[in-house]
Structure formats: structure tokens, C-alpha cells
Structure 1
Amino acid sequence: MADSISMQRAQIPQLCHMCEENTDIKFKCVDCAFLLCPKCRKLHAKVKTQYVHRVVDLKDKRAISNATKINRVIPIRCEFHEDKHYIMCCKSCQQLVCTTCIVTMHQKHEMGDMKLINSAKVTKLKQYQEKIDKIILPSISRNYDRCYDLMEFHTKKVDIAKTGIREWKNYFKNTITTFVDHQAEKFCEKIDQNMDEIKQNILPQLSELDDMKKNITGVRSEIDRVTNSKDFTKMNYIEKIIESSLKNVNAQHMKERTQYFEYTQSELTFPTLGDLTLKAVFDLQCTQSFETGLSCIDKMAACNNGELLVRNLQLKNMCLLKTANDKFIELQKWNIDVKDITVLRTGEIIVILPDKTDLRLMSNRQHVPSKTIGDCTAIFFETAPQIPTALHTTRDNNVIISTVETGRDWLPMDDPCKVEILVITAKSEVIFRFLFNKDLFCFPNKITSLGTDICIADSISDYSGRLVTLNNKGKVKWTYGDNETNSVIIADMVATPLNNIVLLDPCKGVLRVLDSKGAFINTWGLRDLKVTDAYAMTISKDEKLFIGCGHDGSNLHILEFRE
């Protein structure tokens, strides 16, 4: 009734919501809240939806009363046909459509009620809103804090470096000045000492020569007087005096000559102030520790939504864990023994079973396959005759597999064996296949990836191992720990988001960090991080490092790192 009254009072006649031309409004679709003319009533009934169109006559007061309880859809102008409004939603294309859209571009498509689609969109947006509040914004805040801390870290490092340079420069200046002053003083002392020696040698001679000069001058004047006197005796006396004086004069020329110091400037060579070396920033800190109730965690794989897949070595089973109220709770358990585990980005779990030449998919609460063998589905990928030893899911959702020849399963040996490294898609399609016929690997037991490079932990013996990195053509790019002085036991390893590699060495109880070229960055003692008996590692989707341990109590630790 309200619609009928409003139409009568409206200055602009109400148009049919279907054709948007006819003003002779007689009917209303209760499900769509559309006002219809007699012509469009039949057309509207033919529009495909999951609901039956309940079209009522506007003269039916009861129907009108029911119709007023249904919210009307606010008309939205079609972006393709400006003279039309959206009336429905094409479920096949997930687009809003007008009458012209239905006839021209969406024929035989399934249509849906705009209100229901709108409700679904609202629900989806609410879910996004919750995801933004609980996941996205906290993640951005964490990354912002990390970047802020990193800027603060580098600012402090710059201040420390510049202070060190200034202090070292002043040290150099003071040291050089002191050294030069001391040396100049020492040189002057030597020169003065030499001058004293010269004076001791020359001054007596000057005095003696002065006396000789006086005597000779006196004798010279006596010669004139004596020769004039023609006194033979006096002339004989003067002659003796002259001969004696000449002997003294000749004796002066025979004395030793003096030596003097000549100063020669040394060539000036400046000592270097030091060196500037770029160092990779990498820091680790244990932020949380949990008691999982599991006796030994020796395999780990991060799943979506903060879930964690782990293997309990002692009980030979596998569990799916998730954090809740600052603790890990068990969501699901599989009583099955596995050699290695990985999780696809879509959530499917892939495992290696003992003594099997294939990979299997695990059934879980989210992905229940149609055909199962115990707790496992049919074969995901066949590796026969080779036996799979390790798995890894890359960031682009491919799977890397390492295999060994029959008879080498679980038995690392000193001699190389036939090894095959495969890269397959999530649909089990082979991308790469690299075969090493007893010329490189002994026993590959762990795999990770650095972009397109493949990092493989090769166990040479029970007490030594190494890391071998292959490029996307299967060629060795670099190795680490491949000699007696640099051997490393690798229980597990992960690649960080910035392509650093963290190696877990349980024998020495340390985490070693390498860069993407295999250069050593740093070592962290696990005891310093309050982690003991570490067995396994993985990196979560929010870039946290999880470490599982082989004991009861606090045996699952979360480490945050800054690179």
C-alpha cells in the first residue's frame, strides 16, 4: 500500500524496474523487490535465479504488506548502458547486470538476487575486515617496527663508525706528531753533540794558531832589526826561531779533519686509516617458548593460518598444531610414521613413507580425498626405482625432491651414490630432473631453495656434511663445509625471505648463517637463545623461525630475526 500511495503522490512517475520505460506499475517481485509492469511480469519470471520469483499484485493488500517487509535495492546505473539500472547479478560472471546486459552479454547465464549477492559481498568484506584487523594490519605494524628498528640500528652503527674514525684519526695525528717531535729532538741533540765535538777539536787549534800568528809577526819585525844590525849571533838566533815556528805551522796541517751531520728528508709514506667493510645485518632473538606436550619434534613444516605440522619422532606420529591463547593446541593427529613432510601453499600435506618409492598426500580436515590408503591418499608422485629422502615446497608452490638409489636409504656413507634431484609442480608435473651418477652426493637429507637455486644438505658420514647449492640447470654454484677444517653437520636448514640460509648444527649447538653466495655471516649459540637439543626448523608465513626440540617441556621456540 505504501508503494502504491508513494507512486500516486510522486511528481515523477515510477518506472518499471525491468524495462525502465513503462509507468503502468501493477506488480512487485517480493524476492527481488522489483516493481513491474504487466509486460515485464512474465519476462521477470524467466530470469534464472536459485529462487522462485514471488510476484504479487499491488492491489493485494496482504501481499503489499508482506512486500513492504523486504528491503528495496537502491538502483545503480549500469556502466555499460547509462539509461539502465542494475537489476540482478550474473552468478556466472560475478557481475551486476541490467536488462540489456542480460539479453546481450549474459544470455543463458545463471542470475542471482542482488540483495543476496550484496549480502554475500558484505559478508566477504566483513571477513576481509576481520583479516585486515587480525592479520594484515598487525603484520604491517610488525614490519613497520622492524624497519624502524633497522633504521635505528643503522643510525647507531653510522654514529659508532664515524666516532671510531674520528677517534682513530686523532690517535694517528697525536701519535705521528709525538713521534716526529721526538725524532726531531733526538736529531737536534745529535747535531749539538757533534758541534760540541767540533768545538773541542777546532777551538784549541784556533787559539794555537792565534799564538803562532803573534809569534811569527814578532819574529818578522825582528828580522828587519837584526839584518840592519849585521849582528851574526842575533841573526843565527832569529833563524832558529823561524825554523821552529815553521815546524809548528807544518804540524797544524797534519791534524785530523772534523765530520759533520747532513740532514736528508725521508720519503713521506702515509699509513692507512683502516678499512671499510660491508657487513650483513642479521640478528636473532627468541621471543616465545611453548610446551607442546610432544616428546620429540624432529620434522616441521609451516602451514597457512599460523598452523604448524610436526612429526613426533618418539611416538612415530604426526600432529597439526595451532597457537591459541599463547599456547599450541593439537588440531589433528595421524598415527603414521613418515620420513619427511612438506605442505603446499594450498594446504595439502605431502609425506615420504619409509621404504616407499613415492610421495603421498595426507588427508586432513580441510582436504579429504576421495580415495585413501589408510591415512594417505593415492600416490602423489612416483620416484621408482629411486627412494625419496627429502622434500621442500618453494615460494612459488613447486616441490623439490631428493632421491637415492636402493640400499642407501637411511644409511649415509662416505662414497657417493646415484642421486636424482627433481622439481615438480603442485600437479605432479616434472619441471626439472637432475641426475648425479655417483659423482657428487653421498646422501642428501635436507632441501631448501634460494630463488631458483636449490640448496641440498649432503651427509658425507655420521660426523661430517656439507651444503651444496645448484643453479636451475643443475650445476654446482657453491658449496659450504666441504673440507676437514670446515665440515658441518646439518640437522635442518631454512632460507630466510632475504635469501640468507640458516643451518642448524646440533653437534656444536649453533645456528650458522650464510648469505646467498655461501659466505659466512655469523654464528649463534643455541644455549644463548635458551634452546636445547634442537632437531628441526621451519619459517612461518609471517617470517618467524620455529625450532623444534627433542625433549619434553619447552620444546618449541619462536625466533624473530632482523636482516
Structure 2
Amino acid sequence: MADNISMEGAQMPQICHMCEENTDIKFKCLDCAFLLCPRCRKLHAKVKTEYVHQIVDMRDERAITNATKTNRVIPIRCEFHEDENYIMCCKSCQQLVCATCIVTMHQKHEMGDMKLINSAKVKKLKKYQDKIDKIILPNISRNYNRCDDLMEFHTKEVDRAKSGIRKWQNYLIKTVAQFVNEDADEFCEQIDNNMEAIKQNILPQLSELDDMKRNIKEIRSEIDRVTSSNDFTQMIYIKKSIKSSLENLNAQKMKERTQYFEFTQSELRIPKLGEMALKTVFHLQCTQSIQTRLACIDKMASYNGKLLVRNLNLKNVCLLKTFNNEIIEKQKWNIDVKDITVLQTGEIIVILFDKTELRLLSKRQHVTSKTIGDCTNIFFDTAPQIPTALHTTRDNKIIISTVETGRDWLPMDNPCTVEILVITAKSELIFRFMFDKNLFCFPNKITSLGTDICIADSISDYSGRLVTLDNKGKVKWTYGDNETNSVIIADMVSTPLCNIVLLDPCQSMLRVLDSKGAFLNSWSLRDFDIANPYAMTISNDEKIFIGCGQVGSNLHILEFRE
């Protein structure tokens, strides 16, 4: 039956979407959502390919249901021809095309069925979906929890700092006020005491002078009277009285000058509340220690939840994976290597002793051949220089350090010619920095800090330093470059927040530097029950792995918060 719609309370019959006249609706195109009459049904089928238009009888509910459940390609309007839908996929151009596109722009190109292409795309997207579920979302959750922890930590630190400031402020205000008040009271008391001494000194003199003043005034009055009366006898008496008064006046001795207090304000020196210093948040704890059955781990690299290690005693390379807190050996190569690194694609690159070539390890399981050619392929050649260390950056570039031919692999005290190379994952050269016996003695470890290159340079068996270059090969800073601040670096990693962690095996210690080479913190690995540390790497989920030179628990996992 035809679909009806309600209009002002009445049921109005639908009309055919093509002829817009016939109300005898019998069919529907599920792709275009067109209602069709029997005559237009054939016309509509001819407009586009039958494979695009799925036209069903509206009376056949089962057909509608089955068609809805099928994996149909949803019609998409062509961006170049608005009246047409995409019907195929051009394999040559890797884009969807409509009928007009095929004729006008994609003649003689190889076409593919949209359903097959769609199926391949869906399959690929499902792989991405699996990657999102297993890698991306866990990383986001981990980073979110880390940021949430940091926010909580900093919020508490802010509250604690402000509370301490206010308490200390109130203490200082009360202390200063009390001190000033006591000082003012003491000063006023001294002034009052001095005033009493002044009174005892001056007041008697004032009284005596008042008496003398009164006598002199009486004598003066007598002089007026006597001179008027011409009384000679009285004149003689007055003269004697004046002479006596003058003698008394001259006889009066002023006591010592009285001292007085003059208040002088002290220079205002505002007491400092304290000092503010930024402290870097960097906490570290050992979360797991694992027995690997390996005698000595002295080289490490991490990728996609796996660990690549060199077993120094047996001189082989093992690919390990943790499972239920245990280590499973996935693959082994019976070759001795100088250094190892892993590309993000999982390809393993190694340096062999006395060879100028970087080699790719074969992915065959448990390669036991002792012939190097059987288990490696040449990846890059550094000739005539000899490679000493490798590192894969976060953007999948490889950094290589090399020394001049004939240089022993052990560190030497005098500088040598060193090249630092940066290449792509396809072994294409990007940068080459040459240092002609003016900087390095023996570069034995590399890591990267953004675009900077950090190189551990061994000066001797018992001293070393860290040299950091910018992306133009210029020295930015060094750490441990003098006798009082020398450091032996067995391994090092850079963290996502641009800190560098150095492994000092002699002191069994980790040191942390910031991106400018400033010292931040240090930990004794003995506090984590870690003995004989030889190697270190950092995983994708930002855990630090420490490999040790002992049998038993020789692989330790450290987690940190920056």
C-alpha cells in the first residue's frame, strides 16, 4: 500500500517522487528514499546502476527487512555533480566517482566496487578502532589521571603554601608590633625619668631666682622713694642692699647642663616574609621487580609493550614481553651487538663490533645461526666512521654517533673525530654534524630532547659528561664537564616533560636534569633494592625499566610523576 500522510486531519495519499502524478505507489528505493509507481520504477532503475539502487516491493516486508540488514553503501552526492551519487571507486586516484566523473575525468582508470572498497575501509577502520581501544584511549586515560593527580598535588601545595604564608605573616605582625610597643614604652619611660632629673635640677634655681627678682624689685622701689626724700642714711642702706643682691646673684652657680633625649627614627628596614623558590615535581617509586632468567642486562630498548635487551654474558639479543607479572621470551638472536634501538614500526636496528654498517635484525623466530648475514640486513653505512651508539626519537628518526677508524670501543682520554648523524626511518640522511677532535672523547649513549640531541661522552673509565646539541649541531649546555662535577653515564632517557634521567652505575644512582641542564633531583637505587644497574629505557606508557647485572630480580619497573 502507498504511504499516506496526515494533512489538516485528513489522510492524503503520497505521489510518485519521479513523475509527481501517480499515487499508485508500489515500490521504494531504499538508497534514495524515493516512493515509486510501477512505471517510474523501471525508469528509476535505469537512471543509476542497479547495484546502487535497491528497489523493493513495499508489500514485501521481508525484502525490506533483509535489504535494511545488508551491508549497503549509503548514497553520497558527488561533490562535482550535485545531481548524481557516487557509484564506484577509482583505484588509480583513490577517490569516489559518479557516472559523469567516470566519463569526464577518470577515463581508462581502474574502477573498483564501492562495496568492496567500503568493506576494506571498514576493516581498516576497525583496526584503528582496536588501536584506539588498546593504545590511544588507555594513553589518554593515563595522561588524564596523571594530569588530575598533578592538579590535586598542586592544589594542595598552593593551599599549604598560602596557609604557611598567612600564618607566618600574622606571626611577624604580632612579633614586630610587640617589639615596637615594648621599645616605645621603654623610650617614653627613659624620657619621663630624665624629665624628673631635669625638674630636680632646674626648679630650685627658678625658686631662688624668683626670690632675687622680688628683692631687686623692692630695692628699686626704695630707690625712687629715697631719692625723692634726700634721706642720706637710707641711700647708704639701699646701696648696701644692692651690693648684697649683686653678690648673691654672682654667687649663684648654675648646675651642670641638663641632658635631654632627642628621638631619632631608625631606618625603616622591612623584615622579609621569606623567599619563594620554584620546586620541580618529580617523584619516583619502584612498582615491580621481575626475574628474567637472564644473567646480565646491559642494553635495553622498549616499544609497543615489548622489551629488547642484550644479554652481556651470553652475547645475544632477546625480545621480551611481560605477561601476568612474568617475562616471556618472544624471540632471540645469537649475535653480539654494541648497541640496539627499535623503530616505531618494530624494526630492530643494531650496531655490530668493528662494523661500519647498521643492521636490521631478521624477524625470524629464535635465530640461532652464528653467521651475521643469516640474521641481519644492512640498513645504513657510516663508513669510514665507526658507529658507537643509536637512538630512535619520538618522531621515528634515528640518531647515530660515530668515531674515527681505529678508535678502541673503550673510552680514551684524548678527543677524537666524531660525527653525529640524523637519518629517517628509510635510512635517508637528514643532518651530519662533524666534530674534528674539538669536543668529544667517546660518545657512548644518545637520547633526544625535542629537537635537541643529548650525548653521553665518556672521558675515561671513571669520568664523563653530558653534551647537548641543538638542531644545528651547536653546543647548548653541558653537565658534568669538570673534575668536581663529573658523572659516569651508563644509560639515559628523556621524559615527555623534557627532563633527562641519567643512570650512574658506579654510585647506583639516578640523576634528573631539566631541559637546560639544571640539576633537579637524585635517587639512590639501593633505596629501591636495585643492585648493579647497567641499562635503562622508557616505555610508551612512561615507565622506566632498569636492567641489572645479576641473576634473579634483574629487571625493575619505576614509575614517576613529573
What TM-score bracket applies, with the shorter chain setting the length?
A: 0.7 to 0.9
- Name the % identity: 73
Partner AA of 1:265 in structure 2? Q
Q: Deviation of residue 20 (structure 1)?
A: 4.0
Q: Deviation of residue 22 (structure 1)?
A: 9.3
Point out where structure 2 has 5 or more consecutive residues left out of the alignment: 1-25, 29-35, 56-65
Q: Does 1:178 align with 2:178?
A: yes
1:251-262 → structure 2 map (5 Å cutoff): 251-262=251-262
1:470-509 → structure 2 map (5 Å cutoff): 470-509=469-508
Partner AA of 1:74 in structure 2? R
1:20-419 → structure 2 map (5 Å cutoff): 20=47, 74=72, 76-80=74-78, 88-97=88-97, 99-209=99-209, 243=243, 245-303=245-303, 305-365=304-364, 373-419=372-418
**Taking structure 1 as reference, are residues 551 and 106 closer, same or farther at Cα in structure 2, changes over 3 Å only?**
farther
* Greater alpha carbon shift after TM alignment, 259-268 vs 243-252: 243-252
User: Could you say what secondary structure the match of 2:153 adopts?
Assistant: helix
* Distance in 1, Cα, partners of 2:82 & 2:245: 140
Partner AA of 1:525 in structure 2? S
* Distance in 2, Cα, partners of 1:209 & 1:264: 34
Q: Deviation of residue 327 (structure 1)?
A: 2.9
* Distance in 1, Cα, partners of 2:526 & 2:165: 35
The residue aligned with 1:556 is 555
Q: Does 1:437 align with 2:415?
A: no
- The answer to whether the Cα contact below 8 Å between 1:466 and 1:488 also exists between their aligned partners in 2 is yes
**Taking structure 1 as reference, are residues 374 and 173 closer, same or farther at Cα in structure 2, changes over 3 Å only?**
same
Partner AA of 2:530 in structure 1? V
- The answer to whether the Cα contact below 8 Å between 1:447 and 1:493 also exists between their aligned partners in 2 is yes
* Greater alpha carbon shift after TM alignment, 391-400 vs 126-135: 126-135
* Distance in 1, Cα, partners of 2:456 & 2:309: 20
Q: Deviation of residue 390 (structure 1)?
A: 0.8
Q: Deviation of residue 411 (structure 1)?
A: 2.1
For residues 151-197 of structure 1, what are the alpha-carbon distances to aligned partners after superposition, in whole Å with 9 as ceiling and x for unaligned?
Answer: 11221122122222222222221222122112212222221232232
- The answer to whether the Cα contact below 8 Å between 2:73 and 2:114 also exists between their aligned partners in 1 is no
User: Could you say what secondary structure the match of 1:271 adopts?
Assistant: coil
Q: Deviation of residue 87 (structure 1)?
A: 5.2
The residue aligned with 1:58 is none
Partner AA of 1:473 in structure 2? K
1:535-550 → structure 2 map (5 Å cutoff): 535-550=534-549
- The answer to whether the Cα contact below 8 Å between 1:341 and 1:391 also exists between their aligned partners in 2 is yes
For residues 250-297 of structure 1, what are the alpha-carbon distances to aligned partners after superposition, in whole Å with 9 as ceiling and x for unaligned?
Answer: 132443221211222234342343343344333333333322222222
TM-score (norm 1): 0.79
**Taking structure 1 as reference, are residues 551 and 17 closer, same or farther at Cα in structure 2, changes over 3 Å only?**
farther
Q: Deviation of residue 112 (structure 1)?
A: 4.6
* Distance in 1, Cα, partners of 2:43 & 2:529: 74
- The answer to whether the Cα contact below 8 Å between 1:502 and 1:511 also exists between their aligned partners in 2 is yes
Q: Deviation of residue 554 (structure 1)?
A: 2.8
User: Could you say what secondary structure the match of 1:192 adopts?
Assistant: helix
- The answer to whether the Cα contact below 8 Å between 2:201 and 2:255 also exists between their aligned partners in 1 is no
TM-score (norm 2): 0.79
- The answer to whether the Cα contact below 8 Å between 1:537 and 1:548 also exists between their aligned partners in 2 is yes
User: Could you say what secondary structure the match of 1:350 adopts?
Assistant: strand
* Distance in 1, Cα, partners of 2:49 & 2:237: 169
Q: Deviation of residue 309 (structure 1)?
A: 0.9
- The answer to whether the Cα contact below 8 Å between 1:88 and 1:112 also exists between their aligned partners in 2 is yes
Partner AA of 1:332 in structure 2? Q
The residue aligned with 2:60 is none
For residues 101-152 of structure 1, what are the alpha-carbon distances to aligned partners after superposition, in whole Å with 9 as ceiling and x for unaligned?
Answer: 5555555555555554444444333333332222222221111111111211
The residue aligned with 1:53 is none
The residue aligned with 1:47 is none
For residues 469-517 of structure 1, what are the alpha-carbon distances to aligned partners after superposition, in whole Å with 9 as ceiling and x for unaligned?
Answer: 1122222111111112222111111111222211112223322222211
* Distance in 1, Cα, partners of 2:110 & 2:121: 18
* Distance in 2, Cα, partners of 1:548 & 1:267: 63
* Distance in 2, Cα, partners of 1:497 & 1:106: 47
* Distance in 2, Cα, partners of 1:261 & 1:113: 109
**Taking structure 1 as reference, are residues 254 and 197 closer, same or farther at Cα in structure 2, changes over 3 Å only?**
closer
The residue aligned with 2:16 is none
**Taking structure 1 as reference, are residues 502 and 207 closer, same or farther at Cα in structure 2, changes over 3 Å only?**
same
- The answer to whether the Cα contact below 8 Å between 1:360 and 1:379 also exists between their aligned partners in 2 is yes
User: Could you say what secondary structure the match of 2:337 adopts?
Assistant: coil
Q: Deviation of residue 320 (structure 1)?
A: 0.8
- The answer to whether the Cα contact below 8 Å between 1:338 and 1:353 also exists between their aligned partners in 2 is yes
**Taking structure 1 as reference, are residues 511 and 22 closer, same or farther at Cα in structure 2, changes over 3 Å only?**
closer
- The answer to whether the Cα contact below 8 Å between 2:397 and 2:423 also exists between their aligned partners in 1 is yes
Q: Deviation of residue 11 (structure 1)?
A: 3.5
* Distance in 1, Cα, partners of 2:541 & 2:319: 18
1:524-539 → structure 2 map (5 Å cutoff): 524-539=523-538
* Distance in 2, Cα, partners of 1:209 & 1:280: 81
**Taking structure 1 as reference, are residues 17 and 470 closer, same or farther at Cα in structure 2, changes over 3 Å only?**
farther
- The answer to whether the Cα contact below 8 Å between 2:357 and 2:380 also exists between their aligned partners in 1 is yes
* Distance in 1, Cα, partners of 2:294 & 2:242: 125
Q: Deviation of residue 361 (structure 1)?
A: 1.3
Q: Deviation of residue 438 (structure 1)?
A: 1.7
**Taking structure 1 as reference, are residues 223 and 117 closer, same or farther at Cα in structure 2, changes over 3 Å only?**
closer
* Distance in 2, Cα, partners of 1:412 & 1:73: 65
* Distance in 2, Cα, partners of 1:473 & 1:312: 36
- The answer to whether the Cα contact below 8 Å between 2:489 and 2:503 also exists between their aligned partners in 1 is yes
Partner AA of 1:552 in structure 2? V
Point out where structure 1 has 5 or more consecutive residues left out of the alignment: 24-31, 37-67
* Distance in 1, Cα, partners of 2:44 & 2:412: 79
User: Could you say what secondary structure the match of 1:538 adopts?
Assistant: strand
- The answer to whether the Cα contact below 8 Å between 1:389 and 1:409 also exists between their aligned partners in 2 is no
Q: Deviation of residue 322 (structure 1)?
A: 1.7
**Taking structure 1 as reference, are residues 279 and 35 closer, same or farther at Cα in structure 2, changes over 3 Å only?**
closer
User: Could you say what secondary structure the match of 1:527 adopts?
Assistant: helix
**Taking structure 1 as reference, are residues 179 and 34 closer, same or farther at Cα in structure 2, changes over 3 Å only?**
closer
Partner AA of 1:381 in structure 2? F
* Distance in 2, Cα, partners of 1:393 & 1:511: 22
Q: Deviation of residue 333 (structure 1)?
A: 0.7
**Taking structure 1 as reference, are residues 242 and 73 closer, same or farther at Cα in structure 2, changes over 3 Å only?**
closer
- The answer to whether the Cα contact below 8 Å between 2:414 and 2:441 also exists between their aligned partners in 1 is yes
**Taking structure 1 as reference, are residues 452 and 244 closer, same or farther at Cα in structure 2, changes over 3 Å only?**
same
**Taking structure 1 as reference, are residues 18 and 445 closer, same or farther at Cα in structure 2, changes over 3 Å only?**
farther
The residue aligned with 1:55 is none
**Taking structure 1 as reference, are residues 22 and 329 closer, same or farther at Cα in structure 2, changes over 3 Å only?**
closer
- The answer to whether the Cα contact below 8 Å between 2:292 and 2:555 also exists between their aligned partners in 1 is yes
* Greater alpha carbon shift after TM alignment, 387-396 vs 186-195: 186-195
Q: Deviation of residue 206 (structure 1)?
A: 3.8
For residues 399-429 of structure 1, what are the alpha-carbon distances to aligned partners after superposition, in whole Å with 9 as ceiling and x for unaligned?
Answer: 1111122343222122222222122222322
Pairs aligned (count): 513
* Greater alpha carbon shift after TM alignment, 267-276 vs 345-354: 267-276
* Distance in 2, Cα, partners of 1:21 & 1:392: 57
* Distance in 1, Cα, partners of 2:97 & 2:71: 13
